Amino acid sequence: MSDASHFGSDAFREEAPPGGAPLPPAATAVPFQAAASLVTAGLLVFLNLYDVQPLLPRLRQVFGAGEAAVSLAIALPVLAVAVSSLVIGPLSDRWGRKRVMVAGTLLIALPTLAAAHAPDLWSFLAARTATGLVIPSVIAVVIAYVNEEYRPPASHVLMSLYVSATVVGGLVGRVGTGLLAAWWGWRAAIATVGWVTLAAGAVLTVALPPSRRFRPNSSWARSFGDLARSFGDPTLLSLGFLGFSYFFAFLSSFTFLTYDLADPPFRLSQIAISLLFFTYLFGVAASPVAGRLSARVGPFPVVGAGLALLIAGTLLTLAPSLPVIVAGLCCVTCGQFTAQALTPALAGQVASHGRGAAGGLYTVLYYLGGAAGSAVPGWIWPRYHYPGVVALDLLCLLGAVGFWNLARRRVALSH
């Protein structure tokens, strides 16, 4: 039996409402308004999460701190995303998907604006952490929203479009703030991100379609009970640790490669480092292609291909040649967003209860991997530099292959 048959319309799990009118049928087509809204939300979130990444070498000078301390500007908000997801997922099961998502998009702008005016490194890191605490209001809830309202393959298409938007958001944040910082200074660059987010978030309050199929949990106890049950689900855990492993390697490569390229022998400028993030365009292209391929061959073969690209690209970034490093980054981004276009949707579909909680579980583990990937290599950097980082990344990617195989086998056994 192919993977595709596991996630056809017959595998879509319906949840009967606890009482009252039956649920309306899930949509099988992708409406423009829903797609545009989710694209906007994904772009805004990742614009704010990764806007400081190309600025790390500059912040190292501004605040007079080492690589490990400055890298916390990425690690702490990513860790905060993981922690906050423990609450946001169940919160959306109780309060509703749109209400939580809209509130979050508006609130994300505030700590970004605070970071732009931070007087020292620790104030800056505190504002960055606050950014991470708000972000799960979108990224942990969108999985539940899509899987409630749409059947496959529409849900796969929407999630792939959303992931493409997150790639664009990360690209615009990284390249845009890098260029703006070179022209106007880093504070003006980050403040621009905050004001753009606030304006676009206001538009989203009207544009995002309401949830037609959402039924709130009857109590907070049930919402958090669903989260606890999700942590006891081996299939969800294997998908979550799959995300943990490949996001560790991805964020580790991009975070610490900036230091390597700013130092001898490359000595790249702020603008040149920012332009390297144009490799994210390969992720923009990969996500929708992954969604279409999954409808033909199933999601697991496509995710496996993404992991293979990640491994190959990570090895290429060790080359002493800048063109080869760029080629490696193209493979890394293509592989990352091929896998990430499908794994969250799988987590939402295999959940038998509390899709918000299931999305929260996946988001927790995924961003714990990102937090570790942007912090742990900083401890080995002083002695082993970038080759040591790559060795650690490859270990994580081998672990990702193991979790991919475990999840694939468990899903096959359950159908």
Among the listed residues 89, 91, 86, 393, the one whose alpha carbon sits nearest the alpha carbon of residue 250: 393
pLDDT score for 172: 82
pLDDT at 7: 35
Write out the E strands in 141-246: none
Q: How far is CA 127 from CA 106, 119, 195, in A?
A: 16, 11, 15
pLDDT tens for each residue of 269-322: 878 887 888 887 887 788 778 878 887 888 899 999 999 999 999 999 999 999
Phi-psi region of 80 (alpha: psi -120 to 50; beta: other; left: phi over 0): alpha
CA–CA separation, 264 vs 270, rounded Å? 14
Does position 30 have pLDDT exceeding 70, yes or no?
Answer: no
Indicate which CATH number applies to the domain containing 134.
Answer: 1.20.1250.20
Alpha-carbon gap, residue 312 to 164, rounded angstroms: 22
pLDDT above 60: residue 249: yes
The answer as to whether 9 is a domain residue is no
Q: What is the domain extent for residue 284?
A: 31-210+223-414
**Which tens digits make up the pLDDT trace of 385-398?**
999 999 999 999 99
CA 137/CA 357 separation, integer angstroms: 12
Distance between terminal CA atoms of the chain?
9
Alpha carbon distances (Å) from 281 to 169, 178, 277, 330: 11, 16, 8, 8
DSSP states of 310-340: HHHHHHHTTSS-HHHHHHHHHHHHHHHHHHH
Handedness of CA 150, 156, 159, 161 (dihedral sign): negative
Give, in degrees to the nearest 5, the angle at Cα 378 between 59 and 113. 35
Can you tell me whether residue 25 is helix, strand or coil? coil
On whether residue 197 sits in a domain, the answer given is yes
| Per-residue pLDDT at 48 exceeds 50 | yes
Domains contained in the chain, number: 1
Tell me, what's the pLDDT at 10?
Answer: 34
Which tokens is 60 given? 């190292």
6 lies in some domain: no
Global pTM reads: 0.71
| Assigned domain for 158 exists | yes
Is 4 contained in some domain? no
Measured from the Cβ of residue 323, the count of other Cβ atoms closer than 10 Å reads 8
Is 43's pLDDT higher than 80?
A: yes
pLDDT (mean) for 143-163: 76
Q: What is the phi/psi pair of residue 150, to 5°?
A: -135, 145
Which of 2-6, 56-60, 209-213, 228-232 tops mean pLDDT? Answer: 56-60
Name the range with the highest mean pLDDT among 129-143, 246-260, 299-313, 340-354: 299-313
- The verdict on residue 7 lying in a domain is no
* Domain-located, residue 13: no
223 token code pair:
């919402």
Residue 20, in any domain of the structure: no
Name residue 240's amino acid: G
By residue count, the chain amounts to: 415
Joined tokens for residue 66? 């080492």
Q: How far apart are CA 377 and CA 379, in angstroms?
A: 5
Q: Residue 346 corresponds to which amino acid?
A: L
Q: Classify residue 67 as exposed, middle or buried by CB count within 10 Å of its CB (0-12, 13-18, 19+).
A: middle
Query: What Cα–Cα distance (Å) separates residue 309 from each residue in 106, 280, 293, 302, 336?
Result: 36, 14, 16, 11, 8
